[in-house]
Amino acid sequence: MRRSRLIWQVFLSILVVSLTSIFATGIIARAALSSAFEAYLVAAPTHMGAVQGHGMGRVFIGVAEQTFMSGVDRGIVLSAIVAVGFAAVAALFLARYLTRPLGRLTAGAKAVAAGNLEHRVEVAGPGEVEDLADAFNEMASSLQAGEDLRRRMVSDVAHELRNPVAALRAQAEAVAEGILPMDEHRIASIVEDLAHLSRVIEDLQELSTAESGGVRYNREQFDMCELARREVERGSLMTGGGVSMDVACDGGSLLVEADAFRIAQVLRNLLGNAARHTQEGSITVRVERIECWIRVAVEDTGEGIAAADLPHIFERFYRADTARATSTGGTGLGLAISKHVIEDQGGAVFAASTEGVGSIIGFSLPMCAESITTV
């Protein structure tokens, strides 16, 4: 109903403008033709010669002018009727041309409101209407991306919590039925499963905060080499006797401005990930400056990552070896959190690996204002 009113409003607006133009043109044309006709008769010697001396010149001009102007009036009226007809048809087509895209946008908005977030509109119309359609499609895409993210999160959480919850339930039922004794080993197993659940919940909360842009960063200048040495010293406690861990720093110190606490958290995640997948060999944190960037790479001689898995390692809950992931203490969220922390501070993450040889996973942070977001 509202769209119909808009069509008629546009139609009547165009028609009124057309009629006004025709009316104004008729008045101006009539006045101009009247003056021109009288001047023509006065200047015409043959016509004036026929009436001079008889006092009929002015009468002749008046009668001739009335006859001529009557014809002009009829011509103007006929032209106006034809022009109004054409204007009405043109106005109707133009009104439909302008309002048809709006009708499609209205239908699209109703479809999206009804839950069909995949709906997109394609309209052909004035540039402003096409811009509006593009903005609508971008809005629908953003809503769809948010909904997809929510669904994936729910699915991932359900999948991730299913195994430890099932293990806890099985142990509790077995103890309740007297199948398993409630000894120190059983208690330790339950505590381990509960600790894993707690880590998953904490990481989920942190990832959710990062994805929503709710993390507040306390930027300060610090020495990346010193931070790497401190985290390697802490991380050495996580490795077995057959794995060495050290730092290779390009120069005595490399200053960067970022959130030191968050960067330490990222480095801790990378070291923990390397330690879980390196049974023997070495883990090296390499810190170097490349133009206006500080590049931090955690290199290990572990089992490596398959080429098919490598593009996905920064996705939430993605694990190349799902059978070992829980037993090694990983939640599948550390690298996803690290990616958000680094990118939020203008940096970029990277990964390279050869299966059976080792992996290089790290990040780059800008040192200069003109730095771009990739290296």
HEC sequence for the chain: CHHHHHHHHHHHHHHHHHHHHHHHHHHHHHHHHHHHHHHHHHHCHHHHHCCCCCCCHHHHHHHHHHHHHHHHHHHHHHHHHHHHHHHHHHHHHHHHHHHHHHHHHHHHHHHHHCCCCCCCCCCCCCHHHHHHHHHHHHHHHHHHHHHHHHHHHHHHHHHHHHHHHHHHHHHHHHHHCCCCCCCHHHHHHHHHHHHHHHHHHHHHHHHHHHHCCCCCCCCEEEEHHHHHHHHHHHHHHHCCCCEEEEEEECCCCCEEEECHHHHHHHHHHHHHHHHHCCCCEEEEEEEEEECCEEEEEEEECCCCCCCCCHHHCCCCCCCCCHHHHCCCCCCCCHHHHHHHHHHHCCCEEEEEEECCCEEEEEEEEECCCCCCCCC
- Per-residue pLDDT, 240: 61
The residue with greater pLDDT, 124 or 188, is 188
Of 216, 289, 301, nearest in space to 255 by CA: 289
- Per-residue pLDDT, 364: 95
Mean pLDDT of 204-215: 75
Mean pLDDT of 309-315: 87
When pLDDT is cut at 50, 70 and 90, the band that residue 122 belongs to is confident
Q: What percent of the chain has pLDDT over 70?
A: 68
Is a pLDDT exceeding 80 seen at residue 162? no
The residue with greater pLDDT, 187 or 258, is 258
The residue with greater pLDDT, 287 or 99, is 287
The residue with greater pLDDT, 239 or 105, is 105
Going from the N-terminus, what domains does the chain have, and what CATH number goes with each? 2-116 (no CATH), 134-211 (1.10.287.130), 220-366 (3.30.565.10)
- Per-residue pLDDT, 63: 62
Mean pLDDT of 197-222: 80
Mean pLDDT of 251-278: 88
- Per-residue pLDDT, 325: 47
Of 319, 292, 317, 316, nearest in space to 303 by CA: 319
- Per-residue pLDDT, 29: 65
Please give the Cα distance from 284 to 299 (Å, whole number): 5
Please give the Cα distance from 351 to 295 (Å, whole number): 12
Q: Can you give the pTM of this predicted structure?
A: 0.55
The residue with greater pLDDT, 48 or 312, is 312
Is a pLDDT exceeding 90 seen at residue 83? no
In the numeric block, which tokens belong to residue 255?
A: 């200053």
Mean pLDDT of 265-271: 90
- Per-residue pLDDT, 375: 38
Mean pLDDT of 85-103: 72
State the amino acid at position 90 in one-letter form: A
Is a pLDDT exceeding 60 seen at residue 326? no
When pLDDT is cut at 50, 70 and 90, the band that residue 369 belongs to is low
Is a pLDDT exceeding 60 seen at residue 59? no
Mean pLDDT of 125-132: 71
Is a pLDDT exceeding 70 seen at residue 322? no
- Per-residue pLDDT, 44: 57
- Per-residue pLDDT, 285: 94
Is a pLDDT exceeding 80 seen at residue 309? yes
**Average pLDDT over the chain, rounded to an integer:** 76
The residue with greater pLDDT, 199 or 30, is 199
